[in-house]
Amino acid sequence: MTESAIRLGLVLPDILGTYSDGGNAEVLRLRARWRGIAATITEIGYHEPVPSSLDLYLLGGGEDEAQALAAAQLRAHPGIQRAAARGAVVFGVCAGLQLLGADFTTSDGVRHRGLGLLDAVTSPGRQRAVGEVVVEVGAELGAEPLTGFENHLGRTRVGPGARPLGRVRAGTGNGDGTEGAVTGRVLATYLHGPVLARNPALADLLLGWVLGAPPAALPLPEVGRLREERLQAARRGARR
C-alpha cells in the first residue's frame, strides 16, 4: 500500500447486496479507523467503470440473475482482475464466491463464465442450503472458527489451484465438507452475517493483507461473547 488511506471497493452493491453483505466494507473501515488508519469505501455501481486502483474489493451475495449480470459486467470491465494481478485483495461472499471461480451453473441449467480468480466451479445442488454454519479454519487463517448463515443452491468444487477456507462443522458450505476458497489474496466464503461483523479475526486477516502486517489487537469483549453464543447455538442445532 502506497497511500495513507486504505481504499475499499464495494462491488455492485446495487445488485450484489443480499443479506447486508455490504456491511463487510463498513466493518473493515471501522476496524481500520479504530486503529487510527483511514479507510475509504468506493461503491462501484452497475454501469460504472470498475477501477483497478483500489486495495481491497468486496463482492456480496445475490440471486442467480443478478449474479449472472454481475459476472458478465465484471468480465467486460476487468478492473478487479487487473487489480488482483498486482496483488490487491479480493473478498467474495456466496454469489461473490461463485462468480470469482472459473464458472458457475445457475438453477436454470445455464453455465456462466466467472472471473477466473479462484480455481472453483459451482453447479446447482439438489436443495437449497439454508441455516447457520460453523467452519473450523487452520492457523494460517487465524484458527478462530467462522460463524455465519448460508442460503444458496450452488455447490462448489475447489480445484488444486486454490484451497478451501476450512471444514464445515455445522451447515453445508461448498457441499463436500469444505467451505469457501482461498488462493493468494483472493478469499471467498458462503457465509453471510455480515461475515466480517461476526468474525473480526477474518476482517483483520484481510486488513493485514492490505497493510502488509497484522493490525494491532483490538479487544472487544462483547464481540467475543456474542461469537461464543452463536457458535454454541449452531453446534447445538447441528447435533439435533
* Beta strand segments in the chain, E: 6-11, 39-44, 56-59, 89-93, 103-105, 111-113, 120-137, 146-158, 166-170, 178-179, 181-183, 186-189
Instruction: Tell me: does residue 68 bind ligand GLN (CB under 6 A).
Output: no
Distance CA 175, CA 157 (A): 8
Beta bridge partners of 104: 112, 122
**Which residue's CB is nearer to ligand GLN, number 50 or number 129?**
129
Instruction: Tell me: does residue 223 bind ligand GLN (CB under 6 A).
Output: no
- Report the nearest approach of ligand GLN to the CB of residue 107 (Å): 7
Instruction: Tell me: does residue 64 bind ligand GLN (CB under 6 A).
Output: yes
- Residues 8, 11, 32, 94: which binds ligand GLN (CB under 6 A)? 94
Lay out the site mask for ligand GLN across 186-215 (x = CB under 6 A, - = otherwise). Answer: ------------------------------
Beta bridge partners of 43: 10
Say whether 75 counts as a known binding-site residue: no
Known catalytic membership, residue 112: no
Instruction: Tell me: does residue 123 bind ligand GLN (CB under 6 A).
Output: no
Residue appearing with cell numbers 445457475: 106
Instruction: Tell me: does residue 132 bind ligand GLN (CB under 6 A).
Output: no
Count, residues near ligand GLN per rule CB under 6 A: 13
Instruction: Tell me: does residue 105 bind ligand GLN (CB under 6 A).
Output: no
Instruction: Tell me: does residue 18 bind ligand GLN (CB under 6 A).
Output: yes
Backbone φ and ψ of 142, nearest 5°: 100, -10
Burial of 213 (0-12, 13-18, 19+ CB in 10 A): exposed
Considering the candidates 47, 77, 94, 112, report the single residue annotated as catalytic.
94
**Which residue's CB is nearer to ligand GLN, number 27 or number 71?**
71
Cell of 167: 471444514
Give the Å distances, CA to CA, from 1 to 7, 14, 54, 205: 9, 28, 10, 15
Catalytic residues: 94, 192
Binding residues: 128
Residues that bind ligand GLN (CB under 6 A): 18, 61-64, 67, 94-95, 98, 151-154
